[in-house]
């Protein structure tokens, strides 16, 4: 099958189906309601489950129940909706269930706006819900990559028995680009009989399975948290993904940027290069685990004088960039989060300003 | 002499943590007997609430999932939608179902989800230590209504069965009690009927069970039964409120 | 090389669709392409716009401040966006609704009475395709035959509407070449 033009939101729905996920629960919210509209039509065609829940709170637990019963399941939402689901996300992570969440971020806090933003970086990578849990967070920068990450997310969620979040923004959801759904990303669901509460008869077992998150004994709870931590540590070792651009030359400034914003930065890097100014770009594709070592190494190159995190938020990823750079270079931030995405020209001005500052 | 008492195979051997005089044990047994009689233990998934019955999975011998406060009906929806062949029941108390989970129960009932709800109403929060519930009676003292429930401030107790029966979607909605042997026999029949409606794929089913909580009511078990009969039952009337056509 | 075409007009003038057909044609010809709508409250009344970016290598920024070309279907769109068009570009002006030109001497104004021509083709609502036909014929941004095929594909599910739409496209081509 060749490439077809698709909106990001529709590609998300189709990619999930191609990945073998036939269960979708959601609540409408701009700017990603097209996913629900697409799947309301598509799921019945493929014999799948589509249900519009009464709230994101309820949807979170529909996902819990379905995943707890051993079935592949996913949802899509946007920022305020993810806040409401965050309670369930904590429980889902605690009960070690593989669920895929897609957050097509809009501007916040509060109702904020409906235009693109990256203001949910902290929520996705540092928590959102209560307790010591982590999500594996994938950040696509194109419709094609969104489709691929959605397809990858299911086996990843099953590998770790942990929720995975695709963190996009309103522009990724709304724009149309050519996309194809690679066959090699089609995976069979993993065997969940060891833990799913899918009925003893389903797995021909006399042992019952419990899906739960309550550990009243302090030692048991500490052990449970150590077990979860070991999974997050393994993600840090095995799942770091990033892309570099123009990191071969003697760049004087290193930009770290992800998602839609990174594409704007790429254009700025091209334009600056044409003007004789070398700037490097590192684009994290996983936000948790964050590519700490790659950023540190790129920042440490002799010609590099400064590092800047450019994001559609008021300075969230920059904290991870600072953590990576460990003070060996000055770390700056530039961003906007009203929905007005910075242009390549703005990025170029900011970079030039950094260089003129002699830092 | 023949065997006069045996434990349902759908119950484990573990002694319960429930207080003396608590009715959860009786209700567990009625559910377990029903599961045995219908021979569905191997394809049943129960959902434990937040509340005294949070550890219900220690006592039932089937698969279980443990919910967050009030969200059991949403979880049951998730399971039943992706695995309609499974038998799913939630076991919820009054704080869980009628307060923090009111949204979930109303919408699950209104969608006509094909699972069964066992709703234990003892007019008080148990596990958290005797706070006021949405079903606490007017004037009833609890730790958060120390002068008695003031309906001017917090309204009247919610009659869940009547409220859900008002929905247009077909359902089986009944209120029973387990404070005496006659009530227990009728409650058992109702629970069995509720599971049968689910097995037939007919409708949502909910059995509200008026129960006692001697510990948090500050009474002996005998006093508790008398109080339930004199105070709860006149307000929470027993009977079938909705039966599918 | 990269060029961008901004489609702008009232909500309901079909600009998202004509932009999508152009994007599809560019994809058919093997180009990289992105279709970026404006979304939100703007979609209801006022000026809606949509940008199609066509390039030979993966497209970077989807945020386009200065497009190469503009298709202006109403006057507010022309007034708002004409100053942003890069020198050398084409500005297609819906002459039925816009009595003025771009006022620039470094771009090519292409004034076409797209509403009249659409009505002549059989349906006023096909004005977007008249504009698209005229723009493609003048700019050569994609081959006209490719465009025609993409229109056929787009309306494959509604074959009864196809003759009018193809006629509209053709009227646009003639207007641009006339």
A49 and A180 in a single domain? The answer is yes
Q: What is the mean pLDDT of residues A173-183?
A: 96
For residue B132, pLDDT beyond 60: yes
* Contact between B94 and B70 (Cβ < 8 Å): no
Confidence bin at A59 (pLDDT 50/70/90): very high
SS3 A296: helix
Nearest CA in chain A to C33: A177
For A109, which DSSP code?
A: S
- What is chain A's mean pLDDT, rounded? 96
- Residue C98 pLDDT more than 90? yes
What pLDDT is stored for residue A150 in this prediction? 98
Going from the C-alpha of A220 to that of each of A88, A224, A226, C4, C148, the distances in angstroms are: 22, 6, 10, 60, 68
- Shared-domain flag, residues A251 and A224: no
Give the model's pLDDT for residue A194: 97
d(CA C144, CA C146): 5
Residue C92 and residue C176: Cα distance in Å, rounded? 10
pLDDT tens track for B195-207: 999 999 999 999 9
Residues of C (29-48) whose Cβ lies below 8 Å from A: 32-37, 39-40
Taken in order of first residue, the domains within chain C and their CATH numbers are 2-177 (3.40.920.10)
Report pLDDT for C39: 66
Query: Which chain A residues have a beta carbon less than 8 Å from that of C61?
Result: 263-264, 266-268, 343-344
pLDDT band at C46 (very low <50, low <70, confident <90, very high): low
CATH number at residue A270: 3.40.50.920
Tokens representing residue A175 in the block: 């724009």
The model's pLDDT over B141-161, given as tens digits with 9 standing for 90+, comes to 999 999 999 999 999 999 999
Q: How far is C99 from chain A (nearest CA, A)?
A: 31
Mutation choice for B interface testing from A53, A69, A192, A201 by most B CBs within 10 A: A69
Percentage of chain B exceeding pLDDT 90 = 97
Task: Show residues of chain A in contact with C63, CB under 8 Å.
Answer: 264, 341-344
Q: Is there a contact between C63 and A264 if contact means CB atoms under 8 Å apart?
A: yes
pLDDT at residue number C40 = 55
Window 65-124 of C: residues touching A by CB (8 A cutoff) are 65
Verify that A290 and A223 share a domain, yes or no: no
In angstroms, the first-to-last Cα distance of chain A is: 51
Is residue A148 pLDDT above 60, yes or no?
yes
Q: For residue range A287-341, what is the model confidence (pLDDT) as tens digits?
A: 999 999 999 999 999 999 999 999 999 999 999 999 999 999 999 999 998 888 9
pLDDT band at A187 (very low <50, low <70, confident <90, very high): very high
* A212 strand-pairing partners: none
Whether residue C4 contacts residue C70, with contact meaning beta carbons closer than 8 Å, is answered with no
How close is the nearest chain C Cα to the Cα of A203, in Å? 46
**Are the Cβ atoms of A264 and C20 closer than 8 angstroms?**
no
Residue A47: CATH number of its domain: 3.40.50.970
Interface list for chain B against chain A, based on CB atoms closer than 8 Å: 41-45, 47-48, 54-55, 57, 61-68, 71-72, 74-83, 85-87, 103-104, 107
pLDDT tens profile B107-126: 999 999 999 999 999 999 99
3-state secondary structure of A101: strand
Same domain? For A221 and A141 the reply is yes
Indicate the DSSP class of residue B231: I
User: Which of A113, A177, A260, A342 to probe by mutation at the C interface, max C CB count within 10 Å?
Assistant: A177
pLDDT value at residue A53: 98
Interface mutation vs chain C, best among A4, A142, A176, A335, most C CBs within 10 Å? A176
Using CA coordinates, name the residue in chain C closest to A261.
Answer: C61
Residues A9 and A153 in one domain: yes
| Whole-number pLDDT of residue A339 | 85
Alpha-carbon span A128 to A342, nearest angstrom: 26
Q: Are residues A23 and A124 in the same domain?
A: yes
How far apart are the CA of C127 and the nearest CA of chain A, in angstroms?
23
Range B130-134 contact pairs with CB under 8 angstroms and sequence separation of 24 or more: B130/B213, B130/B215, B130/B216, B131/B95, B133/B94, B133/B95, B133/B98, B133/B99, B134/B94, B134/B95, B134/B98, B134/B99, B134/B102, B134/B158
- In this structure, the answer to whether residues A188 and A255 fall within a common structural domain is no
What is the total residue count of chain B?
245
Physical contact, A and B (3 or more Cβ pairs within 8 A): yes
A219 & A303 share domain: no
Is the domain of A175 the same as that of A265? no
Residue A212: closest CA among chain B residues belongs to which residue? B66
User: Cβ contacts (< 8 Å) between A49 and chain B: which residues?
Assistant: 81-82
**Dist. CA B172–CA B112, nearest whole Å:** 10
Which pLDDT belongs to residue B212? 97
CB atoms within 10 A of CB C140: 9
Partner-chain contact C61 A3, CB within 8 Å? no
Residue B231: both structure tokens together: 């105070």
Residues 6+ apart with CB under 8 A from A304: A251, A252, A253, A254, A280, A298, A329
Helix, strand and coil percent figures for chain A, each rounded to 5: 45, 20, 40
The DSSP line for A161-173 is: TS-EEEEEEHHHH
Question: Which residue of chain B has the CA closest to A196?
Answer: B63
Closest CA to B30 of B161, B162, B193: B193
**Residue that terminates a domain, selected from A238, A266, A284:** A238
Residue A234 confidence class, pLDDT cut points 50, 70, 90: very high
pLDDT (0 to 100) of residue A359? 44
pLDDT single digits (tens) A73-90: 999 999 999 999 999 999
Residues in A lying within 8 Å of C, measured between beta carbons: 3, 5, 30-31, 113-115, 142, 170-171, 174-178, 260, 263-264, 266-268, 270, 341-345
Residue whose token pair is 């020209």: A345
Query: Sorting pLDDT into bands at 50, 70 and 90, what band is C38?
Result: confident
Domains contained in chain B, CATH given: 24-242 (3.40.50.970)
Residue C81 has pLDDT above 50, yes or no: yes
Share of chain C above pLDDT 90, in %: 89
Q: Is the per-residue pLDDT at A357 higher than 90?
A: no
Looking at the structure, do residues A120 and A216 belong to the same domain, yes or no? yes
pLDDT tens, position by position, A201-231: 999 999 999 999 999 999 999 999 999 999 9
Residue C147 CB contacts under 8 Å (≥ 6 apart), including other chains: C21, C22, C25, C132, C133, C136, C169
CB–CB contact A197 B65 (8 Å): yes
**Residue A293 lies in domain:** 242-356
Q: Which of A204, A238, A272 is the last residue of a domain?
A: A238
The dihedrals phi and psi of A167, each to the nearest 5 degrees, come to -105, 100
Chain C positions in Cβ-Cβ contact with residue A114 (cut-off 8 Å): 39-40
* pLDDT score for B1: 63
Interchain touch C–A (≥3 Cβ pairs closer than 8 Å): yes
Q: How many A/B residue pairs have CB atoms within 8 Å?
A: 135
Strand, coil or helix: A131: coil
Cβ-based burial of A331 (10 A; exposed 0-12, middle 13-18, buried ≥19): buried
Q: Pairing mode, if any, of strands A306-311 and A331-335?
A: parallel
pLDDT, one tens digit per residue, over C121-165 is: 999 999 999 999 999 999 999 999 999 999 999 999 999 999 999
In what order do the strands lie in the sheet containing B87-93? A210-211, B63-66, B44-48, B87-93, B116-121, B204-210, B171-177, B239-242
Question: What is the rounded distance in angstroms from the CA atom of residue A291 to the CA atom of residue C135?
Answer: 46
Rounded to the nearest 10 degrees, how much is the dihedral formed by the CA atoms of B94, B99, B103, B106?
40
Q: Do A212 and B77 touch (CB under 8 A)?
A: no
Distance CA C95, CA A17 (A): 46
Residue B83 has its nearest CB partner, among A69, A95, A208, at A69
Between B3 and A33, name the one with better pLDDT.
A33
Domain count, chain A: 2
- Residues B171 and B206: beta-carbon distance below 8 Å: yes
Contact at CB, B107 and A54, closer than 8 angstroms: yes
Residue C43 has pLDDT above 60, yes or no: no
In a shared domain, residues A313 and A326: yes
How far CA B185 is from CA of A97, B30, B180, B181, B241, in Å, comes to 39, 9, 9, 6, 18
Counting as contact any 3 or more CB pairs under 8 A, the partners of A are B, C
pLDDT at B226 over 80: yes
- Sole residue written with tokens 């009676």: B137
Tell me, yes or no, whether A218 and A257 share the same domain: no
Decide which of A238, A265, A284 is a domain's last residue. Answer: A238
Among the partner residues A66, A91, A198, nearest to B78 by beta-carbon distance: A66
Question: What does the alpha-carbon distance between residue A316 and residue A119 come to, in Å, rounded to a whole number?
Answer: 8
DSSP string, B9-78: TTB-SPPP-PPTT-SHHHHHHHHHHHHHHHT-GGGEEEEE-SSGGGGGGGTBSSEEEE--TT-HHHHHHH
- Give how far B86 is from chain A: nearest CA, Å: 7
* Interval B38-95: pLDDT, tens: 999 999 999 999 999 999 999 999 999 999 999 999 999 999 999 999 999 999 999 9
Token pair, residue C49, equals: 């716009």
């Amino acid at each position: 099958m060749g490439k077809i033009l698709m909106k990001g939101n529709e590609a998300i729905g189709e990619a999930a189906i191609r990945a073998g996920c036939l269960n979708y629960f959601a609540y409408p919210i701009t700017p990603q309601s097209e996913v629900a509209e697409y799947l309301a039509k598509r799921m019945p065609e493929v014999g799948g489950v589509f249900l519009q829940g009464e709230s994101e709170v309820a949807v979170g637990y529909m996902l819990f129940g379905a995943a707890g019963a051993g079935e592949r399941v996913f949802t899509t939402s946007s920022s305020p909706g993810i806040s409401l689901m965050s309670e369930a996300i904590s429980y889902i992570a605690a009960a070690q269930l593989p669920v895929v969440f897609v957050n097509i971020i809009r501007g916040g806090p509060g109702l904020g706006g409906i235009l693109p933003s990256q203001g949910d970086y902290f929520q996705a990578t540092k928590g959102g819900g209560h307790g010591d849990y982590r999500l594996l967070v994938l950040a696509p920068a194109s419709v094609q990559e969104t489709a691929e990450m959605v397809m990858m997310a299911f086996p990843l969620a099953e590998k770790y028995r942990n929720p995975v979040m695709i963190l996009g923004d309103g522009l990724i959801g709304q724009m149309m680009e050519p996309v194809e759904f690679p066959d090699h990303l089609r995976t069979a669901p993993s065997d969940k009989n060891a833990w799913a509460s899918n009925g003893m008869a389903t797995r021909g077992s006399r042992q019952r399975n419990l899906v739960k998150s309550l550990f009243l004994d302090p030692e048991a709870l500490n052990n449970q948290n150590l077990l979860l931590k070991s999974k997050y540590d393994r993600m840090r070792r095995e799942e770091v993904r990033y892309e570099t651009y123009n990191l071969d030359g003697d760049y004087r400034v290193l930009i770290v940027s992800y998602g839609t914003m990174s594409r704007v930065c790429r254009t700025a890097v091209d334009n600056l290069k044409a003007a004789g100014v070398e700037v490097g770009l590192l684009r994290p594709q996983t936000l948790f685990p964050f590519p700490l070592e790659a950023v540190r190494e790129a920042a440490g190159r002799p010609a590099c004088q400064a590092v800047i995190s450019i994001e559609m938020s008021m300075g969230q990823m920059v904290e991870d960039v600072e953590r990576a750079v460990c003070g060996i270079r000055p770390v700056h931030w530039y961003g906007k989060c009203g929905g007005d995405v910075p242009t390549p020209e703005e990025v170029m001005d900011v970079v030039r300003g950094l260089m003129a500052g002699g830092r | 002499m023949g065997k006069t008492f045996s434990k349902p195979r759908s119950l484990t051997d573990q002694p319960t943590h429930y207080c003396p005089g608590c009715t959860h044990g009786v209700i567990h047994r009625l559910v377990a007997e029903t599961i045995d009689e219908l021979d569905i233990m191997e394809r049943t998934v129960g959902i434990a609430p937040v509340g005294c019955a949070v550890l219900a999975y220690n006592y039932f011998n089937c698969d279980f999932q443990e919910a967050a406060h009030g969200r059991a009906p949403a979880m049951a929806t998730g399971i039943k939608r992706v695995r309609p062949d499974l038998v799913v029941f939630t076991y919820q108390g009054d704080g869980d179902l009628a307060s923090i989970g009111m949204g979930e129960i109303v919408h699950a009932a209104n969608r006509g989800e094909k699972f069964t709800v066992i709703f234990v109403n003892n007019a008080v929060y148990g596990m958290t230590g005797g706070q006021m519930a949405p079903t606490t009676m007017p004037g009833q003292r609890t730790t958060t209504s120390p002068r008695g429930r003031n309906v001017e401030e917090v309204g009247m107790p919610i009659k869940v069965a009547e409220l859900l029966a008002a929905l247009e979607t077909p359902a089986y909605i009944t209120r029973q009690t387990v404070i005496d042997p006659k009530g227990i026999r009728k409650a058992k029949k109702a629970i069995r009927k509720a599971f049968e409606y689910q097995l037939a794929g007919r409708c949502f089913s909910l059995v509200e069970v008026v129960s006692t909580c001697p510990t948090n009511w500050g009474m002996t078990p005998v006093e508790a039964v008398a109080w339930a009969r004199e105070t709860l039952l006149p307000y929470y009337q027993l009977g079938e409120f909705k039966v599918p056509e | 090389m990269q060029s961008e075409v901004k489609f702008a007009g009232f909500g309901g003038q079909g600009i998202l669709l004509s932009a999508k057909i152009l994007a599809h044609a560019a994809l058919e010809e093997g180009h990289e392409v992105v279709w970026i709508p404006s979304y939100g409250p703007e979609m209801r009344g006022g000026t809606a716009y949509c940008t199609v970016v066509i390039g030979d290598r993966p497209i970077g920024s989807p945020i386009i401040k200065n497009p190469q070309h503009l298709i202006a279907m109403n006057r507010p769109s022309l007034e708002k966006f004409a100053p942003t068009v890069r020198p050398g570009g084409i500005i297609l002006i819906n002459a039925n609704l816009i009595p003025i030109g771009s006022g620039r001497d470094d771009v090519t104004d292409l004034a076409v009475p797209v509403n009249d021509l659409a009505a002549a083709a059989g349906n006023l609502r096909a004005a977007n395709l008249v504009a698209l036909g005229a723009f493609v014929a003048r700019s050569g941004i994609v081959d006209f035959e490719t465009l025609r095929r993409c229109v056929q594909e787009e309306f494959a599910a509604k074959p009864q509407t196809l003759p009018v739409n193809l006629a509209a496209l053709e009227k646009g081509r003639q207007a641009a070449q006339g």
